[in-house]
Chain A
């Protein structure tokens, strides 16, 4: 096991953490968004009366080696209160955890703990992670309601980020999403104009449009304002900079 102890002051004298111009090591922030960690549930307003954590789920940071849910921070103590009604996400024996990293500091590793058992460790190689990171963890050996502690150990500070996730392990396999993910079909014409079709016809992703081209989309007619190749997500009603409804 690599042991590299680097002591970095979190706040240098005279530097305020909120100052934009100066970088502080406390920039590294992250939390488990899926299945939702306790701080995510607070930030989603799914658990009431959480206090400050609901505005900064990514800030549960403390020294490495803690086993609490709140990194020992008094203002986030609610996260460590097991008597709160934390909803548990139903999962099978393998679970994919997703971290959202609001700043991407070099990573030693990620650890996943249930009680005193480390169920998974993922090496970070001292590298910066992506903006989101997902790990599939096998929880075999555990069942029923469990509190899992996910830890992001930072490589270049003495700190780590902590996310407790309440799970109901058992039943079907896999990782059902706690709330339905909206699935929208790719744009397709729902209305054909009864008069002669506008030049260009119905809006189609992947087609290159020039200024002045006209298309219909969901029964409305648009004129192209700026040349571009149409992309999903750039449907005419969504991008008034590119399409003018006429």
Chain B
């Protein structure tokens, strides 16, 4: 598997802009408190995802799992920088509110990471799929809630993609989890 580093020509990972709503395309650049809250939570959550998958890449030898979590790593790294940028766009009050959220959910991810670190070699794949699966299920639920609560079109579009991709990842991980183990 060859990993290509991101080059400048790839450009920012922005989705096609949703058509302007009757309430005004100004929503594109002004994130409401709900949007900021979602972005803050997703930033923290995504940072945890990256920790989990990087630890997973250190520990698992299964080629299918490695392919999946490596793809999660690069896609979520891009999403993370997008979301941080949108929080910056939302201004200093938003960033202050986001900073207050950095502690949210940490205990859940920390416990999962500890389990993954401590898992014996024969258990790594099972624990990784379990921890990452639970983590991505949470992201899907948060994104789903955002779809009815959010106001910014671009944040909602991101939430749609998060909901879809994490749900699909959970399904894929469930399939990988039932495959015959390919242990070292």
Q: A residues within 8 Å of B by Cβ?
A: 17-18, 20, 23, 27, 29, 33-34, 36, 40, 42-46, 53-58, 98, 100, 102-104, 130-132, 177-179, 181-182, 184, 205, 211, 225-229, 231-234, 237-242, 244
Q: Are B168 and A241 in contact (CB under 8 A)?
A: no
The CA of A54 and the CA of B97, in the complex, are separated in Å by 10
Contact of B164 among A18, A42, A57, A231 (CB under 8 A): A231
Which residue of the partner chain B has the closest CB to A100? B145
The CA of A244 and the CA of B6, in the complex, are separated in Å by 10
Q: Are A36 and B138 in contact (CB under 8 A)?
A: no
From known contacts A102-B104, A228-B71, infer whether A33 and B34 are also in contact, taking CB-CB under 8 Å: yes
From known contacts A34-B145, A100-B142, infer whether A241 and B94 are also in contact, taking CB-CB under 8 Å: no
Contact of B168 among A177, A179, A205 (CB under 8 A): A205
The CA of A40 and the CA of B166, in the complex, are separated in Å by 25
The CA of A242 and the CA of B68, in the complex, are separated in Å by 12
Centre residue among B37, B94, B161, B165 by max chain A CB count within 10 A: B37
Contact of A177 among B107, B108, B142, B148 (CB under 8 A): B148
Contact of A20 among B41, B102, B165 (CB under 8 A): B102
The main secondary structure of chain A at its interface with chain B is loop
Q: Are B37 and A43 in contact (CB under 8 A)?
A: yes
Q: Are B75 and A232 in contact (CB under 8 A)?
A: no
Which of chain B's residues 135-154 have a Cβ closer than 8 Å to chain A? 138, 141-142, 144-145, 147-151
Q: Which residues of A contact B78 (CB under 8 A)?
A: 239-241
Q: Are B161 and A229 in contact (CB under 8 A)?
A: no
Q: Which residues of B contact A98 (CB under 8 A)?
A: 145, 148
From known contacts A45-B151, A233-B165, infer whether A57 and B37 are also in contact, taking CB-CB under 8 Å: yes
Q: Are B4 and A238 in contact (CB under 8 A)?
A: no
The CA of A56 and the CA of B36, in the complex, are separated in Å by 9
Q: Are A43 and B148 in contact (CB under 8 A)?
A: no
A-B contact pairs, 30 of them (CB 8 A): A18-B100, A33-B145, A42-B33, A44-B32, A44-B34, A55-B93, A56-B100, A57-B33, A58-B37, A100-B142, A103-B104, A103-B105, A130-B138, A177-B148, A181-B148, A182-B156, A211-B1, A211-B2, A225-B4, A226-B3, A228-B71, A231-B164, A231-B165, A231-B172, A233-B160, A233-B165, A240-B78, A242-B74, A244-B9, A244-B10
